[in-house]
Structure 1
Amino acid sequence: MGLKAALSKPFAALINLRLNKLRKNAVPMQQQVFLKLIAQAKNTAFGIDHNFSDIKTYADFKRNVPIRDYEDLRPYIDRMVHGDEDVLWPGKPSYLAKTSGTTSGVKYIPISKESMPQHIKAARNALLNYIYETGKTDFVDGSMIFLQGSPIMAEKHGIQVGRLSGIVAHHVPQYLQKNRKPSYEVNCIEDWEQKVDAIVDETLTEDMRLISGIPPWCQMYFDRLSAKAGGKKIKDIFPNFKLFVYGGVNYEPYRAKIEESIGFKIDTIETYPASEGFIAFQDSQKDKGLLLLADSGIFYEFIPVDEYFDANPTRLQLSEVELNKNYALILNTNAGLWGYSIGDTVKFTSKNPYKIVVSGRIKHYISAFGEHVIGEEVEHALLSVAREQEIDITEFTVAPQVNPPQGQLPYHEWFVEFGTEPLDLAAFSLKVDDALQKKNIYYFDLIKGSILQPLKVTSLKKNAFIDYMRSEGKLGGQNKVPRLANDRKIANELLHYSNKG
């Protein structure tokens, strides 16, 4: 055992004590965060406009601060981006995290000097918690790779601008820099495919022990590693590879293919980082729930999903949530986001401690016919049947077909890139349809009432989604394929990659 691995154990024990305090005191911690946020921001433009000086309770806050998405908050953000101080948070942001929104184009999310350390602390604690729980420290002494965006920063009115993962790269602790990959020079390559090839060349002979990134882009890295090494499994290229850390998308659709590429079932840690803040991480290998970080400078609110688009939806604080109910996640942060709808939906799997799973996106659903099918439901339907039939799924997305050929009923069209094709695609489609009916009563009623016909699966060529993302200039980094849409913008493009054509 190396020195770093040896030192990590007592450090992990200390972090576990702190996490135990969080696990037991999340509600009072949230109250402390709430009061501190209001006090710190009361003299900002937003605080003055929304009477922060008069806010003493959560009820006061709800009366004064409405729910907003990025577009609603944009007048304040635009002032901040143009260099104004004390707009949403005291002073200027330390960074602006540049993201691509589905409706807002480029978005600039503020990161403050108070919020930046929380990103680093949460990522560190996720690893140390794993060490404490499992006693496994070997990965600390080897090389670690973080597949991320370029660390090159632009500047807007004295504020550094970049992708979140690139910003975080500047704050990796010094004790991790020596065995961290890729090198700074390779990390700065903007073209994702060139970057992956350079990372393969740089890491092929390294002692890689921890790999972190968004699953589909890690899969691309694994595929190219294997090709470069003559078809070897990752376990044979990196015999000491011990831990896979991921976030950004649900891992389950990718799990089978990634484990097949690696050659064994590896330990994993799921994290929930966002430009808006680091929200949660998996704190047990025995539980897929993510520990909500109640002390990280974010005050959380929750809106029942079925009320989200109401004029006056119910707004709940942490102490009021129920288990196994879908909520839209609302953030109030120490970077100046207030009543901010991040766009994700979550479900609580535990209240002692408070743990969540990410169940979907509030705007990524299908309700072209009133069915309101969400991401969690389509993933369950497809993957349960795929597992039963031992079929590998590489990637998929779903869209409505509201204008079918004359004489046909409308339907949901599922675009699936298979690792292994079903022997009978039509029979496979019917099984998936049946599974979806069992998950969503509205969809069941529409099928039984002959409003919709059963879903249809369109099989796509190998690398269809990679080719599509490349054509859109969104290959790699933090870009993800939406699972669901209410229109056919993506669907119509994917038709060009159909196996029928």
Structure 2
Amino acid sequence: MGLKSALSRPLAAYVHHRYQQWQKDPVGTQQRVFRQLIEKGRTTAFGRDHSFQDIRTPADFARLVPVRDYEALAPYFNRVKAGEADVLWPGKPLYLAKTSGTTSGAKYIPLTADSIPNHINGARDALLHYVHRTGKSRFLDGKLMFLSGSPELEQVGGIHTGRLSGIVNHHVPAYLRRNQLPTYTTNCIEDWETKLDHIVEETLPENMTLISGIPPWVQMYFDKLVQLTGKPVKDIFPHFDLFVYGGVNFEPYRAKLFETIGRPVDSIELFPASEGFLAFQDTAGPGLLLLLNAGIFYEFIPAEQFFEPDAPRLTIGEVELDKQYALVLSSNAGLWAYSLGDTVRFVSLAPHRVVVSGRIKHFLSAFGEHVIGEEVEQTLREAMSQFPEVEVVEFTVAPHVSTDPNEPSQHEWLVEFARPPHDTAAFAAALDAGLRRRNVYYDDLLTGTILAPLRLTSLPAGAFQRYMKSLGKLGGQNKVPRLSNDRTVADGLLGVD
């Protein structure tokens, strides 16, 4: 056992104990975070504009501060970006995390001296909880790879600006930096395919023990390794023990990834976002531990009421199991009643653990069915279990609106298979049956022949990669939405060469 491995165990026990303390009083923990945020926010332009001096309770906050997304808060973010101080949080942020926007182009999320530890400590504590739970720490003595964006930063309004993963790269603890791959030079390469070639070259001779990244991009890395060596990953990296991921549901990728590796490896799921590190997998069971003591105050809006003008804003003591909630954040990064866009579902209330179930704007309701991401992912996983030969690279679902009055509209599943089903029609029928069981509105539409059974469209190998490349979003933290309410993604996929 190496020195890092040995020292990690008492540290893991200490961190686990600290977490258990705040988990005993989740409501009180969130109340303390709330009071601290409001106290700091009173001196800001946002605090003055929203009468923070009159806020004593979350109910006061909900009355005075409406829920808004990035676009609605853009006037404040733009002032921060221009270099103005004391706008959303005292002083100026240390960084701006640049991320893709939806309607307003790039988004610039502030990272402050108070909020940066949330991102760094969250990832660290996820690994330490794994060490404490399993007793496995050998991975810390080998090489650790984090697929991330470029750490090169630009200046915007006098503030260092770049991708979150690139910013975090500057804060990797010194004791891990010697173990870290890829090198700084390789991480700075912007073109994903060129970068991937360099990553393969650098890691191939190394003792890789931990690999972290979004599953589809890690799969591309593994495919390159196998193509170059003719060996499964387990033979290339015999001590590869731990896979860390976040950003997308792992299940659609699990079978192919483990087949490429050649054996199962332990995994840890994270819930990172530019707006904050929110949760991590702390047990072998389902759900991610929601970090209630990390400078973030959470509000939860029932997903079905999110677009209503007087939708309730629940606090941590008011949530229920197995209900879909839109996530709203206020944080020491200077975010106030900020709609993250993600939906979560609680699978435990002691402690509070969630699964990320989808995006509040990424649903399919072109015909009134309101299908969410979790439903299509579960449906695909169930169908794949019935057809064990099937391996899926990537997929998305879109409406196909019929222009023929004699033919009903339908959902179109666009799937890139690594291995297709032996019986495509039967596989499509299994998908349809699974979604009907999970979504009563979809079932009603098919029963009433308003919709026809789904259309399954197999895409050629590499279609998703070519589509993302055409958008300039190949690699990094970029993801294809699982669901769309229009044909933009579907037609883009069908139109790539």
The total of aligned residue pairs comes to 496
How far apart, CA to CA, are the structure 2 residues paired with 1:158 and 1:420? 50
- 1:79-103 CA deviation, whole Å, 9 max, x = no partner? 1101111101101111000000222
Match of 2:325 in 1: 327
Match of 1:294 in 2: 292
Does 2:29 correspond to 1:61? no
Match of 1:273 in 2: 272
Counterpart selection for 1:306 from 281, 304, 307:
304
Match of 2:468 in 1: 469
How far apart, CA to CA, are the structure 2 residues paired with 1:307 and 1:157? 38
Q: SS of the residue aligned with 2:272?
A: strand
- 1:118-164 CA deviation, whole Å, 9 max, x = no partner? 11111100001100000001101000000000000000121000000
Q: SS of the residue aligned with 1:261?
A: helix
TM-superposed deviation, 1:207 = 0.3
Does the CA-based 8 Å contact 1:146-1:181 persist in structure 2? Answer: yes
TM-superposed deviation, 1:496 = 3.4
How far apart, CA to CA, are the structure 2 residues paired with 1:145 and 1:450? 51
Does 2:163 correspond to 1:163? yes
Does the CA-based 8 Å contact 1:460-1:497 persist in structure 2? Answer: no
| Corresponding letter in the other structure for 2:18 | R
How far apart, CA to CA, are the structure 1 residues paired with 2:496 and 2:428? 19
RMSD in angstroms over aligned alpha carbons? 1.0
| Corresponding letter in the other structure for 1:345 | T
- 1:278-300 CA deviation, whole Å, 9 max, x = no partner? 00000012x12100000000000
Seen in structure 2, the aligned counterparts of structure 1 residues 21 and 431 have a Cα distance that, compared at 3 Å, is same
Q: SS of the residue aligned with 1:373?
A: coil
Aligned counterparts, 1:375-414, within 5 A: 375-390=373-388, 391-405=390-404, 407-414=406-413
TM-superposed deviation, 1:430 = 1.4
Aligned counterparts, 1:473-488, within 5 A: 473-488=472-487
TM-superposed deviation, 1:497 = 5.8
Does 2:215 correspond to 1:215? yes
Aligned counterparts, 1:320-469, within 5 A: 320-390=318-388, 391-405=390-404, 407-469=406-468
- Unaligned runs of 5+ residues in structure 2 are none
Does the CA-based 8 Å contact 2:41-2:47 persist in structure 1? Answer: yes
TM-superposed deviation, 1:25 = 2.1
Match of 1:152 in 2: 152
Q: SS of the residue aligned with 1:136?
A: coil
- 1:14-66 CA deviation, whole Å, 9 max, x = no partner? 01101211322222110000000000010100000101011011111111000
Aligned counterparts, 1:123-162, within 5 A: 123-162=123-162
How far apart, CA to CA, are the structure 2 residues paired with 1:428 and 1:238? 35
| Corresponding letter in the other structure for 1:242 | D
Does the CA-based 8 Å contact 1:344-1:358 persist in structure 2? Answer: yes
Seen in structure 2, the aligned counterparts of structure 1 residues 122 and 19 have a Cα distance that, compared at 3 Å, is same
- Unaligned runs of 5+ residues in structure 1 are none
Does 2:29 correspond to 1:26? no
| Corresponding letter in the other structure for 2:494 | L
Scaled by the length of structure 1, the TM-score of the pair is: 0.98
- 1:218-270 CA deviation, whole Å, 9 max, x = no partner? 011111111111x2111000000000000010101111111111111110000
Does the CA-based 8 Å contact 1:461-1:497 persist in structure 2? Answer: no
TM-superposed deviation, 1:402 = 1.4
| Corresponding letter in the other structure for 1:235 | K
| Corresponding letter in the other structure for 2:234 | K
TM-superposed deviation, 1:426 = 1.8
Match of 2:102 in 1: 102
Does the CA-based 8 Å contact 1:97-1:164 persist in structure 2? Answer: yes
How far apart, CA to CA, are the structure 1 residues paired with 2:10 and 2:328? 36
TM-superposed deviation, 1:387 = 1.4
How far apart, CA to CA, are the structure 2 residues paired with 1:354 and 1:425? 41
Does the CA-based 8 Å contact 2:286-2:347 persist in structure 1? Answer: no
Match of 1:233 in 2: 232
Does the CA-based 8 Å contact 2:416-2:463 persist in structure 1? Answer: yes
How far apart, CA to CA, are the structure 2 residues paired with 1:288 and 1:200? 32
Scaled by the length of structure 2, the TM-score of the pair is: 0.99
TM-superposed deviation, 1:180 = 0.5
How far apart, CA to CA, are the structure 2 residues paired with 1:305 and 1:176? 40
| Corresponding letter in the other structure for 2:287 | G
Match of 1:6 in 2: 6
How far apart, CA to CA, are the structure 1 residues paired with 2:214 and 2:89? 30
Aligned counterparts, 1:80-99, within 5 A: 80-99=80-99
TM-superposed deviation, 1:355 = 0.3
